[in-house]
RNA sequence: GGAGAGGUGGCUGAGCGGUUGAAAGCGGCGGUCUCGAAAACCGUUGUAGUCGUAAGGCUACCGGGGGUUCGAAUCCCCCCCUCUCCGCCA
């Protein structure tokens, strides 16, 4: 969420920034409401001041056994007027907050301006896509050959876009989870295993709500939301907290299943493991001081990239253009892994700096030693990595002419074998 | 699921209708003392909004939301959370 005062004092900055995102937002109504709000706020506070003073006087009179009826009568009407104003004020504030909650973050100046994914800019590339002496298969064909992913039974027991991992497939899923967690922990991230169901406040804190309710799964009674990413519970770890300067930076890593209804994505990646309603992911989350956050984004992205290097999977890193970034992000790098089955780089990680956008929503602050007041922390996160897609990449990149799949060396101790088949 | 207890400042803990933004203690910060430190003593120590160039003023906040009242941390209603006991369960 953007700061109301910042918006009213920087209308043009906000307007320009949102235009770069392709979001044409009309701020005039907001600004008018803001003026009205400040006006009423002053009136209400003046009246309260009067009420406080006079009420004290009434107390004094009563203790002295003197009559205070005329003052009490006057204060009754003052109280009524305060109630009236506050009701209007409350209406304005609610409207403003729900408006601000739907305004996306301002892109950082270093983000390339662009309309959609075609305007993203590649900034790094690692590894060479392997040249095959045979026609490389899609992961679902490889999986079928070894009977390690059962899409049909996934559909039977749950529905479309659910899969059952089986035998070496299940084992590979587990091996990747442990490998990634160990890797991230060794990079200085504290491992956490959070709740997978969260309340509405948490979803609002990280920006999923109120705007993207349709993308989420939700329980009926009592009402909980299934997390679409560990970013939600882990970032909300410190919601409504004031951290001290020496606590920062905080680094967390978490494995969780992720649940996404992905409304509107139908027709895309209908086959295979790429787009599922439930998938596993290891996440990286940081809480940092504002002046460090862009350097912290670089180092976070480097940790995620290193996982792919350890696994020997070719990838490239792109910086998302202003029009393609997520709602809450100020700057995002996507890491894309090479998939021979598709002859394409596909997203396997998304690393973002949210600056103070989530921190303001979730009220996560810190206090500098020796300084008065508090500041919002900056939050960041990135996948490190999406497990299902990593598994896809291993199957497709490791496939051999005889149909077997070579497991990356660093993963073999976790997997317990050198190859599948 | 049933029964009970409770949620107050960084922490412990008083207050239960009128100088209470909140006693007291601990902690933190500054100072006196000391070669230095400890102890002791003195002072200070919440967050946010708003007005103001500033100094500072005002307003709000005692789990959250409503209500009663001239006035609420204190009274009433609803909700949330924590703890204890019983039941059930991995």
Can you tell me the distance from the alpha carbon of A257 to that of A260, in angstroms, rounded to the nearest whole number? 10
Q: Strand B: which positions are within 7 A of a protein CB? A: 18-19, 47-51, 58-60, 66-67, 69-71
Q: What is the pLDDT of residue A240?
A: 87
Give the residue nearest to nucleotide B45 (CA to C1'): A372
Note whether A141 and A96 are same-domain residues: no
Question: Bigger pLDDT: A268 or A51?
Answer: A51
Domain range spanning residue A87?
Answer: 4-100
What integer best gives the mean pLDDT of chain A? 93
In a domain, A269, yes or no: yes
Q: What is the CATH number of the domain that holds A167?
A: 3.30.930.10
Over range A241-267, report the average pLDDT. 86
Domain boundary among A37, A72, A100: A100
Q: What percent of chain A has pLDDT over 90?
A: 73
Footprint of strand B on the protein (CB under 7 A): A 4-5, 38, 41-42, 44-46, 48-49, 51-56, 58-59, 62, 71-72, 75-76, 79, 83, 90, 242, 365, 367, 372-374
Residues of A annotated as part of the active site: 260, 275, 347, 350, 389
Note whether A259 and A388 are same-domain residues: yes
- What confidence tier does A263 reach under pLDDT thresholds 50, 70, 90? low
- What confidence tier does A294 reach under pLDDT thresholds 50, 70, 90? very high
Look up the pTM and report it: 0.93
Note whether A131 and A245 are same-domain residues: yes
Residue A385 clears pLDDT 70, i.e. is over it: yes
ipTM above 0.95, yes or no: no
Q: What is the pLDDT of residue A113?
A: 95
DSSP calls for A19-83: HHTT-----HHHHHHHHHHHHHHHHHHHHHHHHHHHHHHHHHHHHTT---HHHHHHHHHHHHHHH
Closest C1' nucleotide to A78's CA: B70
Q: Provide, in whole angstroms, the distance separating residue A373's CA from nucleotide B43's C1'.
A: 22
Note whether A73 and A169 are same-domain residues: no
Q: By CB neighbour count within 10 A (0-12 exposed, 13-18 middle, 19+ buried), where does A149 fall? A: buried
């Amino acid at each position: 969420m953007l700061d109301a005062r910042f918006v009213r004092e920087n209308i043009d900055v906000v307007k320009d920034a949102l235009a770069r995102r392709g979001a044409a937002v009309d701020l005039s109504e907001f600004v008018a409401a803001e003026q009205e709000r400040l006006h009423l706020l002053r009136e209400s506070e003046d009246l309260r001041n009067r009420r406080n003073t006079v009420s004290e006087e009434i107390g004094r009179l009563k203790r002295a056994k003197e009559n205070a009826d005329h003052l009490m009568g006057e204060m009754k009407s003052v109280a009524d007027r305060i109630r009236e104003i506050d009701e209007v004020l409350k209406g304005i504030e609610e409207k403003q907050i729900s408006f601000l909650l739907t305004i996306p973050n301002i892109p950082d100046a270093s983000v390339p301006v662009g309309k959609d994914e075609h305007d993203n800019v590649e900034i790094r590339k690692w590894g060479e896509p392997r040249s095959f002496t045979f026609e490389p298969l899609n992961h679902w064909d490889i999986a079928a050959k070894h009977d390690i992913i059962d899409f049909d039974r996934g559909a039977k027991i749950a529905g479309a876009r659910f899969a059952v991992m089986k035998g070496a497939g299940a084992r590979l899923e587990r091996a990747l989870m442990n490998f990634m967690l160990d890797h991230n922990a060794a990079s200085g991230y504290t491992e956490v295993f959070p709740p997978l169901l969260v309340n509405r406040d948490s979803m609002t804190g990280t920006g999923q709500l109120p705007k993207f309710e349709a993308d989420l799964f939700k329980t009926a009674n009592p009402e909980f939301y299934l997390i679409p990413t560990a970013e939600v519970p882990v970032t909300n770890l410190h919601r409504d907290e004031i951290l001290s300067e020496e606590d920062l930076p905080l680094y967390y890593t978490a494995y969780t299943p992720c649940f996404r209804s992905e409304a509107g994505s139908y027709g895309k990646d209908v086959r295979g493991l790429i787009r599922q309603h439930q998938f596993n992911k290891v996440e990286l989350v940081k809480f940092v001081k504002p002046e460090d956050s862009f350097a912290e984004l670089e180092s976070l992205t480097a940790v995620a990239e290193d996982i792919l290097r350890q696994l020997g999977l070719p990838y490239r890193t792109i910086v998302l253009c202003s029009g393609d970034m997520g709602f809450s992000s100020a700057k995002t790098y996507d890491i894309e892994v090479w998939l021979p089955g598709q002859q394409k780089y596909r997203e396997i990680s998304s690393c973002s700096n949210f600056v103070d956008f989530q921190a303001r929503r979730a009220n996560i602050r810190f206090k500098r030693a020796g300084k008065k007041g508090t500041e919002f922390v900056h939050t960041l996160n990135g996948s490190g990595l999406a497990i299902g897609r990593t598994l896809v990449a291993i199957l497709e990149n490791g496939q051999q002419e005889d149909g077997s799949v070579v497991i990356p060396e660093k993963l073999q101790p976790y997997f317990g074998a050198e190859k599948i088949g």
